[in-house]
């Protein structure tokens, strides 16, 4: 059984007042709160260990490097990657995807096909669109059905005749659609394409095994699972990482530098130029450990129950339009209420202590497909309770009544 009270005690921020009301934090698809063990790990690192990594020969540098590389081991084990060499630290999902899109600038050429989907966050859309514009490649966007499920027939048609890359989210940050990533990877591979999975949302909503999935790349951000901001991961198969031409240059990524040329360090350091965010990586290692401690599968199942409960409760509100009805919805639900702008609604319920996201959720192509320009989004994490969903739904209902007057 999932012990929510014990979990909540690890997140003191959940006990604060917002605008004089008990905080109901339901914006976890944007950022999840950080549990105390992660804060304590980082505090300890700065107090007792801190030094630059992979550089000095002194005691602290060794200790700091050890902690940084242990965090890489934690990520490799969390993803079930074959080795730590498959794990590149980045600034986040955006950083990881850009590393791949820029890294493939000699791999994708005129007339080639790169495929993404309408479900994507801008982070897994714009880098591919821009790559195609620069390389003269064709950018194809796969659509969804009326329930918000990814249209696999469209994907098959898009890659028919060959494609270089298929970039797909594991879970939509607007509709909560969990995509059939095994099939997506298999369709991409049959067409000879590399497949990148955006796991920014998916990482907390289930167990991702990169070897079983057989994806070529997978990206995620630490702050979506209780780690600090500014740290993320690019997982890659060795053969796929080897294709990447470094996009950023600087210290530590190099082997020999002369006035004429430079040779590169082995992977993964080749793709980590400059001083890395080692403190963030160490925090990420602690966050993954915390998630294992809580129970990844149990946490994901509980979150799914919260989302399903929210969808049901919201649907009783007058004028409610919940977007999508996907086969599997995880992590969030987005909606609009007739005659009420989501920005006004979220601003008003914030005064009641309820934190939701409003706006385009960095997914303008998807919102265009849904026929709107902004949504309100409710996204629970495993530390939220059913009572908090009730409180949010009642605030939304009251807010809508006030705004309609
Ligand atoms: N992809 C998805 C599905 C996301 O939800 C987000 C964050 N909202 C991102 C990518 C980008 O993550 P970050 O801003 O941490 O780089």
Distance of CA 123 to the CA centre of its chain: 10
Instruction: State the Cα–Cα distance between residues 54 and 315, nearest whole angstrom.
Output: 54
In which band, very low, low, confident or very high, does the pLDDT at 16 lie, cut at 50, 70 and 90? very high
Instruction: State the Cα–Cα distance between residues 330 and 206, nearest whole angstrom.
Output: 9
Q: How far is the CA of 331 from the centre of ligand 1 (A)?
A: 13
Q: What rounded mean pLDDT belongs to the chain? A: 97
Residue 1 has pLDDT above 80, yes or no: no
Q: How far is the CA of 34 from the centre of ligand 1 (A)?
A: 17
Residue 21 has pLDDT above 80, yes or no: yes
Is the link from the previous residue into 343 a cis peptide, with omega within 30 of 0? no
Instruction: State the Cα–Cα distance between residues 296 and 307, nearest whole angstrom.
Output: 17
Q: What is the pLDDT of residue 155?
A: 98
Q: Which residues of 289-312 are buried (b: 16+ CB within 10 A; e: fewer)?
A: bbbeebebeebbebbbebbeebbe
Q: How far is the CA of 94 from the centre of ligand 1 (A)?
A: 7
Shortest-distance Cα residue to atom 8 of ligand 1: 30
SS3 letters for 176-240?
Answer: CEECCHHHHHHHHHHCCCEEEEECCCHHHCCCCCHHHHCCCEEEEEHHHCCCCCCCEEEEECHHH
Instruction: State the Cα–Cα distance between residues 124 and 168, nearest whole angstrom.
Output: 7
Instruction: State the Cα–Cα distance between residues 273 and 39, nearest whole angstrom.
Output: 26
Residue 2 has pLDDT above 90, yes or no: no
pLDDT digits (tens, 9 = 90+) for 126-139: 999 999 999 999 99
The one catalytic residue in 215, 332, 362, 372 is 362
Catalytic, 362? Answer yes
Q: Which residues of 231-258 are buried (b: 16+ CB within 10 A; e: fewer)?
A: bbbbbbbeebbebbebeeeeebbbeeee
Q: How confident is the model over 51-57, as a mean pLDDT?
A: 91
In which band, very low, low, confident or very high, does the pLDDT at 39 lie, cut at 50, 70 and 90? very high
Q: Which residues of 323-347 are buried (b: 16+ CB within 10 A; e: fewer)?
A: bbebeebbbbbbbbbeebebeebbe
Instruction: State the Cα–Cα distance between residues 87 and 65, nearest whole angstrom.
Output: 15
Residue 304 has pLDDT above 90, yes or no: yes
Residue 72 has pLDDT above 90, yes or no: yes
Shortest-distance Cα residue to atom 5 of ligand 1: 173
> Which structure tokens are listed for 368?
């265009």
**Helix-then-strand count for the chain, H and E:** 14, 17
Q: What is the pLDDT of residue 75?
A: 98
Q: What is the pLDDT of residue 288?
A: 98
103, with CB counted inside 10 A (0-12, 13-18, 19+), is: buried
**CB of 112 closer than 6 A to ligand 1?**
no
> Which structure tokens are listed for 213?
């999935």
Q: How confident is the model over 38-44, as a mean pLDDT?
A: 98
> CA-CA distances (angstroms) from residue 43 to 76, 124, 306?
24, 33, 32
Atom nearest to 92 CA in ligand 1: 16
**CB of 177 closer than 6 A to ligand 1?**
no
Q: What is the pLDDT of residue 55?
A: 84
Q: How confident is the model over 371-395, as a mean pLDDT?
A: 98
pLDDT digits (tens, 9 = 90+) for 191-249: 999 999 999 999 998 889 999 999 999 999 999 999 999 999 999 999 999 999 999 99
**CB of 276 closer than 8 Å to CB of 93:** no
Instruction: State the Cα–Cα distance between residues 209 and 395, nearest whole angstrom.
Output: 39
Angle at 98 between CA 93 and CA 103, to 5 degrees: 135
Q: What is the pLDDT of residue 405?
A: 81
> CA-CA distances (angstroms) from residue 225 to 284, 305, 371?
8, 18, 31
Instruction: State the Cα–Cα distance between residues 3 and 403, nearest whole angstrom.
Output: 38
pLDDT digits (tens, 9 = 90+) for 89-121: 999 999 999 999 999 999 999 999 999 999 999
111, with CB counted inside 10 A (0-12, 13-18, 19+), is: exposed
Shortest-distance Cα residue to atom 14 of ligand 1: 94
């Amino acid at each position: 059984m999932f012990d929510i009270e014990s979990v909540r005690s690890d997140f003191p921020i959940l006990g604060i007042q917002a605008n004089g009301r008990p905080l109901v934090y339901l914006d976890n698809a944007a950022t999840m709160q950080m549990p105390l063990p992660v804060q304590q790990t980082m505090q300890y690192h700065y107090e007792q260990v801190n030094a630059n990594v992979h550089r000095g020969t002194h005691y602290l540098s060794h200790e700091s490097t050890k902690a940084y590389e242990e965090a890489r081991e934690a990520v490799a084990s969390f993803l079930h990657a074959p080795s730590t060499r498959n794990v590149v630290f980045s600034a986040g999902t955006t950083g990881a995807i850009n590393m791949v899109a820029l890294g493939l600038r000699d791999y994708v050429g005129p007339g080639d096909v790169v495929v993404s989907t309408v479900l994507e966050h801008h982070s897994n859309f714009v880098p591919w669109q821009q790559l195609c514009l620069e390389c003269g490649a064709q950018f194809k966007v796969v659509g969804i059905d009326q329930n918000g499920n990814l249209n696999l027939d469209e994907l098959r048609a898009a890659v028919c005749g060959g494609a270089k890359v298929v970039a797909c989210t594991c879970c939509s940050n607007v509709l909560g659609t969990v995509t059939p990533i095994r099939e997506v990877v298999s369709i991409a591979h049959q067409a000879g394409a590399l497949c990148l999975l955006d796991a920014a949302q998916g990482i907390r909503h289930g167990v991702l095994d990169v070897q079983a999935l057989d994806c070529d790349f997978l990206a995620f951000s630490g702050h979506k699972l209780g780690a600090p901001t500014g740290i993320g991961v690019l997982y890659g198969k060795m053969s796929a990482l080897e294709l990447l031409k470094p996009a950023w240059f600087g210290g530590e990524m190099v082997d020999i530098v002369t006035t004429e040329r430079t040779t590169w360090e082995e992977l993964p350091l080749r793709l980590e130029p400059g001083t890395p965010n080692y403190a963030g990586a160490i925090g990420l290692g602690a966050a993954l450990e915390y998630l294992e401690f809580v129970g990844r599968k149990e946490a994901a199942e509980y979150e799914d129950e919260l989302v399903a409960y929210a969808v049901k409760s919201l649907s009783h509100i007058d004028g409610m339009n919940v977007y999508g009805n996907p086969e599997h919805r995880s992590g969030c639900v987005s909606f609009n209420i007739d005659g009420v702008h989501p920005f006004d609604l979220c601003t008003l319920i914030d005064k009641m202590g309820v934190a939701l996201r409003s706006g385009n959720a960095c997914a303008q192509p998807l919102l265009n497909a849904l026929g709107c320009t902004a949504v309100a989004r409710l996204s629970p994490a495993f530390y939220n309770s059913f009572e908090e969903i009730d409180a949010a739904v009642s605030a939304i209902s009251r807010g809508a009544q006030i705004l309609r007057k």
